[in-house]
Chains A and B, each alone.
Chain A
Amino acid sequence: MGGVSGYAAIHSRIRVMYSTLLTPEDGASLRDAADLQTLVTLLKDTPYGPYLTGVEDKDLTAKWAIHQVKHRLADVYLTIIHSVPAYTRSLVIQLFRHFEIDNLKAILRGIVTNSPWEQVRDILFPMGSLSVLPAQQMLETGNIQAAIALLSSTPYYDTLTHALKRYSEEQSLFPLEVALDLSYWQKLWAKVNQLPGRDRAEAMRIVGPLVDITNLMWAIRYRVYYHLSEEEIINYTLPFGYRLRDEDIRTIAAGGDLVRVLDRLYPGLSDTETLLEEPERGLPKLELQIQRRLRQQLKEVFTSYPFQIGLPLAFALLIELEVQDLTVLIEAKSAQMPVERFTPYLLMSTNADDRVSA
């Protein structure tokens, strides 16, 4: 059941939750918080409040606060998953699964670095009932092959077993991680394309730009950081996109003009040439600029036709970006960083005058 009747309930829920997104005033006061304790105290008056209770100031750590903030993100996703029409649920679950991919990578890294469970557990995203990973058991196997064998009933097994041969030869997690990423996005794209009519178009409006950013940043990183060959870059990127064309990826892979590709995709980005000259610092800034555009696009979904899958997807991603900001803030306050050093890395507006546009 789609259309107005299928989306009526979720639409009103999302609208209510949308009103709880942090405002520029919230952003400004969080930015100006004196330290981590003050930041957490301020957050207690926001929808993150219930997740941040029950710890004394002396026990408060950045790691704990970040983990708790992620709990809200998980709850938002689970609410959306349970409220969207049944035929769109698998798409939202697949979108949510990227946190599980991150968990899986963290476990595999934990095995390689011989980390204790307590340490790995603290960095895992709280997937709740949707988690399919036997995380602790995997870590306790102490070896990648045995850990992957435990995944036989999960969607990750085939992907990882195929990439395992390369892991055995190269003793690097890189092939496993790339295989997981590629498989994740291929499945997400397939889920979008399985949707009917309007929902497909609206989901594409949200997922498409996300695929573009991811694929573009992969291609640039593979070329600039890892100096991979043309054929490797092509094989490690996705053959589909929204506005990013396969020719663009091939151009980047072949060492073509990056700035031209960026200008075509995101006209008006500032200082692309300068940023690319010093990629170590420049690329994160470039990514932030693109993410700010994505954030704006996501907000625009809330002014369009409301009874469609785009609305819940956009909200989930907005909360994700908000949590990304909070992570920056928590880390920065914990490291007692001056405001001017971390503010450029925030996506949210921290200028109270921006209330209307934000």
Chain B
Amino acid sequence: MFFPQEMTSLELIIPEKDLLAVTNVLTGQGVFHQVDASHLGSRAKSESIDSWKERASTYATLERQVLLAMQALEVEEGNPPKNENPTVVAIEDIRPLMEEIEQAVKNATSQLVSSQKRLEQLQENINELEPVADFDLDLGMLRDPRYIHSILGTMPVSNLERLQTSLTRTPSVLLTLREDRKNAVVWLTGASGNADILDRAARSAYLNPFDFKGTHEGTPSEIIKSLNAEIANTRQQIEKQKDEIAQLRTTYAGQLQSLLWNVRTSRMLADAMAHYGKLKYTYLIVGWIPSSKLASLSEQLKRASKNIIIETTPSKRGSSGQNVPVSLKNPGILSPFQMLTTTYARPRYEEIDPTVLITITFPLLFGAMFGDVGHGLVLAILGWVIASKRVPALRGMASLGTIVMICGLTAIVFGFLYGSIFGFEEILPESPFFSKLIWMQPIHHITDILLVAIGAGVVILSIGFLLNIYNAWVARDWARLLFDPNGLAGLVLYWSLLGLAGSIAVPGFPVPTPVFVVLVILGGVAVMFSEFFKHLVERHRPLIEGGIGMFLFQSVVELFEKLISLFSNSMSYVRVGAFAVAHAGLSGAFFVLAELVDGNRGLGYWIVLIIGNIFIVGFEGLIVGIQTMRLHYYEFFSKFFTGGGAPYEPLTPVRVEEK
């Protein structure tokens, strides 16, 4: 929970005959994270690897074909079969069935698509003809006139001006009959002697002439009537074709689902084998598995191959520079907050997973900034609705819903502590029971709440320093532990500065000021020359890079930057108190507005208050959420959390989603 799952490096050497059986075990368990070992094999013997690569590519193409057919027939993927020993299906066994289905689906869907296109075309034709519907003229007459040449059709509006320009030297008339944002219905006419020029100009301006020759004849209104009849006919055809597709769905749904999982499994197996290393007579498989799964996997591997050689190396945290895949294992309730952690970065293997911490601090800081029983209740209900997946459109946001719900609950708790409900600051204090719960009302104790917020910030930042020290200790990174600006040196500087301020400001402070002065100097020197000390501990040479002058200048700047950042990081938490005050202030502003609208506290008064509360929950809730995230990402995480861990992606045909 506090660290990613412990992983073990696995190297397997297997004889060629057991290739498939071992791969089946590795993929069937869904715990083996493969590492590409194809480059480790002997090049001359890599034909079989290449052949697996080709097969993986063929299966991928087949999988895409199956998915396309399923999409066309609206068939769901279904659940993966419960088969612990998946196998590679022979391509020639599945191809005939796939081709049969594909052909049937293609025929049915292409007919449907073509009918739908025809329908669209017919409707478009009607739209085009409507502007000239009252012309009592047989359009057929425009086609073969003796003295004039006419073109009636549609063209892009953007080309109108150019068409006009292109015909400047040719006597002609261009009439725009209808024009929308994109297209125009136009009538271009001129002397039949210039028919070639007019046609060329029209064509090059992308004027598409109406062409009903042989299908619809007569005046525009007659053609529209005839087009409407064809539309009705086409609609009937579409219904019939949809029935045929439904029939195909009934026939092939089960076969397609089975095909999909077979092909997907085969693709995954082939892909896995393409990444094995090929030795002379054996294969080399490299990867990672969670240490807790090692025993059961080893047992099954030995059952699958008697001659298998299994070499395992448990990966100790910080023991190597290997890129160990990171599998986060947090209980269900923490998973929404894990999303907040991984949005920032995935922890490295040797690093603390801050999910537990953020699960505590995120709702706490949010609640402290947004403390109000009523507003918290609204958020909690809203979060519950989202988390319960009752609204289909919000199902993808279930994790966010849980976070909102928990934040809403802490806002309720702080609401009782602040004595605020829907912005009313006097209801709870007047209640004999609830008044006992009130700790302080931020709007009346501004200085106190701001000081408490800074105090909370100091505690959180100190935890950040301590976690960084702990991470460095786990990683055996002594230089970072001792001299990193966020390590022991930084912590000594931070705490001694706080102590110094306390000893000066508070009369009778238990520790004398000179002690803190000495510690500030020690911490300051360690931070200032942290690069030098780190090089010293790591035996890195040269100790100073870029000349002594530049080094001293950089060191002074670094110390200054660190002092500023310690101050600004701590002050950053003032916002927790400030938002608590602002929350009450904003509510107060809406009360004033409501009084202005309706001093008698009638309907207008309550409408303004309701709008105000909606605004506070929506707008202020969002801002407070962003600020809480900012405090975690920029002030807290940056102290100890480096991230950059590789995700753990076990081999399995089913997509494994980290809980």
- Residue B203 interfacial (CB < 8 Å): yes
Residue from A159, A186, A230 in contact with B166 in the complex, judged by beta carbons closer than 8 Å: A230
Interface residues in B137-195 by Cβ distance below 8 A to A read: 155-156, 158-159, 161-163, 165-170, 182-183
Interface centre among A186, A235, A254 (most CB of B within 10 A): A235
Q: How large is the interface on B (under 10, 10 to 19, 20 to 34, 35 or more residues)?
A: 20 to 34
Residue from A163, A228, A231 in contact with B197 in the complex, judged by beta carbons closer than 8 Å: A231
Residues of B near A179 (CB, < 8 A) are: 206
* B390 smallest CB distance to A (angstroms): 30
Bound Cα distance A14, B170 (Å): 51
Bound Cα distance A231, B166 (Å): 5
Bound Cα distance A183, B157 (Å): 11
Bound Cα distance A232, B166 (Å): 7
- Residue A229 interfacial (CB < 8 Å): yes
Q: Let me know if B169 and A232 touch, CB within 8 A.
A: no
Residues of B near A231 (CB, < 8 A) are: 166-167, 170, 197, 200-201, 204
- Residue B205 interfacial (CB < 8 Å): yes
Interface residues in B29-44 by Cβ distance below 8 A to A read: none
- Residue A99 interfacial (CB < 8 Å): no
Check A236/B204 contact, CB under 8 A, given A158-B182, A186-B158, A231-B170.
yes
- Residue A221 interfacial (CB < 8 Å): no
Bound Cα distance A250, B197 (Å): 16
Residues of A near B161 (CB, < 8 A) are: 239
Residues of A near B205 (CB, < 8 A) are: 235
- Residue B208 interfacial (CB < 8 Å): yes
Complex interface bits, A141-179 against B, C-beta within 8 A gives 1, otherwise 0: 000000000000000001100110110000000010001
Residues of B near A166 (CB, < 8 A) are: 203, 206, 208
Residues of B near A165 (CB, < 8 A) are: 208
8 further A-B contacts with Cβ under 8 Å, apart from A175-B206, A235-B201, A239-B162, are: A162-B206, A162-B208, A166-B203, A166-B206, A166-B208, A232-B201, A234-B162, A235-B166
Chain B contacts to A: CB under 8 angstroms: 155-156, 158-159, 161-163, 165-170, 182-183, 197, 200-201, 203-206, 208
Taking chain A's interface residues, is the majority helix, strand, or loop, or is none over half, making it mixed? helix
Residue from B158, B168, B182, B204 in contact with A232 in the complex, judged by beta carbons closer than 8 Å: B204
Residue of A nearest to B203 (CB): A166
Residue of A nearest to B167 (CB): A231
Residues of B near A239 (CB, < 8 A) are: 161-162, 165
* B202 smallest CB distance to A (angstroms): 9
Residue of A nearest to B65 (CB): A140
Residue of B nearest to A117 (CB): B61
Q: Let me know if B182 and A235 touch, CB within 8 A.
A: no
24 interchain pairs, CB-CB under 8 A: A158-B156, A162-B156, A162-B183, A162-B206, A163-B206, A165-B208, A166-B208, A175-B206, A182-B158, A183-B158, A229-B197, A230-B166, A231-B166, A231-B167, A231-B170, A232-B201, A232-B204, A235-B159, A235-B163, A235-B205, A239-B161, A239-B162, A239-B165, A254-B169
Bound Cα distance A235, B166 (Å): 6
Bound Cα distance A254, B200 (Å): 15
* B196 smallest CB distance to A (angstroms): 9
* B223 smallest CB distance to A (angstroms): 18
Residues of A near B165 (CB, < 8 A) are: 234, 239, 246, 250
Bound Cα distance A156, B205 (Å): 17
Which 10 A-B pairs give the minimum distances between C-beta atoms?
A: A235-B204, A234-B166, A231-B166, A231-B201, A232-B204, A235-B205, A165-B208, A235-B166, A235-B162, A229-B200
Check A230/B169 contact, CB under 8 A, given A162-B183, A179-B206, A235-B201.
yes
Residues of A near B200 (CB, < 8 A) are: 229, 231-232
Bound Cα distance A239, B165 (Å): 9
Bound Cα distance A179, B170 (Å): 24
Bound Cα distance A234, B156 (Å): 16
Bound Cα distance A179, B156 (Å): 10
Bound Cα distance A72, B249 (Å): 48
* B449 smallest CB distance to A (angstroms): 34
Residue of A nearest to B199 (CB): A231
Residues of B near A250 (CB, < 8 A) are: 165, 168
Bound Cα distance A294, B243 (Å): 62
Bound Cα distance A235, B204 (Å): 6
* A137 smallest CB distance to B (angstroms): 9
Residues of A near B168 (CB, < 8 A) are: 250
* B149 smallest CB distance to A (angstroms): 14
Residues of B near A254 (CB, < 8 A) are: 169
Bound Cα distance A165, B154 (Å): 11
Residues of A near B155 (CB, < 8 A) are: 162
* B560 smallest CB distance to A (angstroms): 23
Residues of A near B159 (CB, < 8 A) are: 182, 235
Bound Cα distance A166, B199 (Å): 13
Bound Cα distance A232, B197 (Å): 9
Residues of B near A228 (CB, < 8 A) are: 204
Bound Cα distance A92, B644 (Å): 32
Residues of A near B162 (CB, < 8 A) are: 234-235, 237, 239
Bound Cα distance A175, B156 (Å): 14
Residues of B near A237 (CB, < 8 A) are: 162
Residues of A near B206 (CB, < 8 A) are: 162-163, 166, 175, 179
Interface residues in A170-201 by Cβ distance below 8 A to B read: 175, 179, 182-183, 186
Bound Cα distance A262, B379 (Å): 70
Residue of B nearest to A159 (CB): B156
Residue of A nearest to B208 (CB): A165
Residue of A nearest to B209 (CB): A165
Residue of B nearest to A175 (CB): B206
Bound Cα distance A234, B163 (Å): 8
Interface residues in A201-258 by Cβ distance below 8 A to B read: 228-232, 234-237, 239, 246, 250, 254
Bound Cα distance A182, B197 (Å): 21
* A156 smallest CB distance to B (angstroms): 13
Bound Cα distance A237, B204 (Å): 10
Bound Cα distance A281, B167 (Å): 32
* B519 smallest CB distance to A (angstroms): 40
Residue of B nearest to A163 (CB): B206
Residues of A near B208 (CB, < 8 A) are: 162, 165-166
Residues of A near B166 (CB, < 8 A) are: 230-232, 234-235
Residues of B near A175 (CB, < 8 A) are: 206
Interface centre among A162, A237, A239, A246 (most CB of B within 10 A): A162
Residues of B near A182 (CB, < 8 A) are: 158-159
* B179 smallest CB distance to A (angstroms): 14
Residues of B near A158 (CB, < 8 A) are: 156, 182
Interface centre among A163, A165, A186 (most CB of B within 10 A): A165
Residues of A near B201 (CB, < 8 A) are: 231-232, 235
Bound Cα distance A163, B156 (Å): 10
Residues of B near A159 (CB, < 8 A) are: 156
Bound Cα distance A183, B162 (Å): 13
* B180 smallest CB distance to A (angstroms): 12
Bound Cα distance A175, B159 (Å): 14
Bound Cα distance A295, B159 (Å): 31
* A335 smallest CB distance to B (angstroms): 30
Residue of A nearest to B110 (CB): A146
Residues of B near A162 (CB, < 8 A) are: 155-156, 183, 206, 208
* A235 smallest CB distance to B (angstroms): 4
Bound Cα distance A71, B200 (Å): 41
Residue of B nearest to A249 (CB): B165
Bound Cα distance A326, B161 (Å): 40
Bound Cα distance A253, B158 (Å): 20
Residue of A nearest to B196 (CB): A229
Residue of B nearest to A164 (CB): B208
Residues of A near B204 (CB, < 8 A) are: 228, 231-232, 235-236
Residues of A near B203 (CB, < 8 A) are: 166
Bound Cα distance A339, B182 (Å): 51
